Amino acid sequence: MAIGAATAACIALLILTFSAWVFVLILGRNRMFKGTAVERAHAFLYDRLPTAVEAWVERVGAVRWAVRRAEAVWMALFGRRNPLFQILAVVLYWAGIAVFVFQAAPMIPNRYVGRWQWAPILLTLATNIASYVLACATSPGIVDPSNEDAACRVFPYDNLLYYADRRCRTCHTRKPARSKHCSVCGRCVQMMDHHCIWLNTCVGLHNVRWFLLFLASFSAVCIYGSYLFATVVLEMRLVLGLDRLLVWNDEQQRMEPLSFKSSLLYLLDDSPLLAIVLVLLLVLTPAVVLFCGYQVRISMLGYTNNEESKWLNVAEAIGDQVVYETAAPEGPVYEVIEKDEQPADSRPRRCVGSLAEVKNMYDHGAVGNLALLFFPPKTQPLSPLANDRRKAHQS
């Protein structure tokens, strides 16, 4: 009994620690947590702690050698495209499905889950699997010489996060506004959000809709799955008659009913695969739901993960009083004029006082932002054949 309580406490602690870590990792540099303990925790974990460890490593030769080896392994795993995590995700997912099919499905319907629930169960799984395949298989929107002009016309340059007439130092193509070069994929991606190791590709303009659908349906799979597995354990308790079972209590020297908690611990002990999937689902659910909520929120606010840190740089530049605004009929025009620079012309300019005064040019309201993600403009690179035909036509 004591071991059971300790195990439950450990699982709860694990879930809390993991969720807190994901929360700090994802939201630590978010503007809404500026100046709070979340920002300080992020700064400690991702700035001060690594710097202190680095300084220590530099002092100890053997550790330095080990760190170099670890860095080489890290680069092999995360530095270039590599299907390892994609395979791991697929294997774990289907292992979970197999446990569900062989251990939980025979107990559905049960006292808590009606037969009709097979429809939402299958629909949720099908949506989740289809959106994962589509997110992996759809090109995120590569910028190459065949489509760089079309890609550059999708978003205007705001002169704050993105500047016109820049070229990628690696691919040498023009840099469309909102694009970023992915060092893992080795290509420039339109409206780059982030590189996802679980998809083994970038999330960008053309596959972000499938990524959002995947996150939303995976959140549903985690929540619904936790519920279904929990009902199966409760049902097993009743089917096996553990609610009526009497056990000998040594201290009291009498028979007494098996407690609810002991019966659940017995069942989880008796069906380890079911218990592992249930615990994994409980650990995953807060992290997945939190990440999904964050991703939907920034999508509705009109910025990407990549732009989150760029906006922080703008906030710093505003703090240094080098961001200026000029009124124009089509909306405010922003410029960064360093302290030792002169403005290009004599138009009246206003020094921007805070980030709240800046209009995000890429924000068209929640509905408009989501509409853009779900119906992106066609700017995919031409196929090599079409590209050859285009060149032949031009010459």
The neighbouring-strand residues paired with 180 are 189
State the sign of the Cα–Cα–Cα–Cα dihedral 104, 110, 114, 116. Answer: positive
- Complete DSSP assignment for 347-382: ---EE---GGGS--TT--HHHHHHHHHHS----PPP
- Should residue 315 be labelled a site residue for Zn ion when binding is judged by CB under 5 A? no
Q: Looking at 55-63, 196-204, 216-224, 232-240, which segment touches Zn ion (CB under 5 A)? A: 196-204
Among 22, 97, 129, 184, binds Zn ion (CB under 5 A): 184
Position 188 contacts Zn ion (CB under 5 A): yes
Closest CB to Zn ion among residues 96, 141? 141
Bond into 109 cis (ω within 30): yes
Interface segment toward Zn ion; rule CB under 5 A; list 29-37, 49-57, 91-99, 181-189: 181-189
Between residue 200 and residue 229, which ones bind Zn ion under the rule CB under 5 A? 202
Q: Which of 181, 297, 310, 349 binds Zn ion (CB under 5 A)?
A: 181
DSSP β-bridge partners for residue 257: 246
Nearer to Zn ion, 26 or 196 (CB): 196
| 182 near Zn ion (CB under 5 A) | yes
Closest to 303 in 3D by CA, of 29, 21, 34, 86 = 29
Does 142 contact Zn ion by CB under 5 A? Answer: no
Contacting range for Zn ion; rule: CB under 5 A; set: 175-183, 259-267, 313-321, 355-363: 175-183
* Contact status, residue 365 vs residue 373, Cβ threshold 8 Å: no
Could you tell me the smallest distance in angstroms from the CB atom of residue 182 to Zn ion? 3
Stretch that binds Zn ion, among 182-190, 281-289, 296-304, 381-389 (CB under 5 A): 182-190
171 touches Zn ion by CB under 5 A: yes
Q: How near is the Cβ of 208 to Zn ion at its closest, in Å?
A: 13
Beta carbon of residue 185, minimum distance to Zn ion (angstroms, whole number) = 3
Least distance from Zn ion to the Cβ atom of residue 211, Å: 13
The residue (of 226 and 295) whose beta carbon lies closer to Zn ion is 295
> Binding residue for Zn ion (CB under 5 A) from 170, 249, 259, 383?
170
Q: Which of 135, 154, 185, 292 binds Zn ion (CB under 5 A)?
A: 185
- Choosing from 178, 180, 194, 195, the residue that interacts with Zn ion (CB under 5 A) is 195
Rg (alpha carbons) of the chain, rounded to whole number: 27
The binder of Zn ion chosen from 45, 97, 168, 317 (CB under 5 A): 168
Structure tokens at 341: 């620079």
Give residues with Cβ within 8 angstroms of 34, minimum separation 6.
315
Helices 260-270 and 2-27: crossing angle in degrees, nearest 10, is 80
Measured CA to CA, the distance from residue 97 to residue 132 in angstroms comes to 15
DSSP 281-344: HHHHHHHHHHHHHHHHHHHHHT--HHHHHHHHHHHHHHHTT-EEEE--TTS-EEEE--TT---S
Rounded to 5°, the CA angle 85-12-289 comes to: 50
d(CA 383, CA 106): 49
Total binding residues for Zn ion by CB under 5 A? 10
Closest approach of Cβ 180 to Zn ion, in Å? 8
Measured CA to CA, the distance from residue 272 to residue 268 in angstroms comes to 6
Stretch touching Zn ion by CB under 5 A, among 4-12, 58-66, 189-197, 328-336 = 189-197
Shortest separation between residue 132's beta carbon and Zn ion, angstroms? 17
> Near Zn ion by CB under 5 A, which window of 112-120, 121-129, 152-160, 183-191?
183-191
Shortest CB 85 distance to Zn ion, Å:
13
Structure tokens at 342: 């002169």
Instruction: Report whether 149 contacts 381 (CB < 8 A).
Output: no
Residue (24 or 189) nearer to Zn ion, CB: 189
> What does the binding site for Zn ion look like in residue numbers (CB under 5 A)?
168, 170-171, 181-182, 184-185, 188, 195, 202
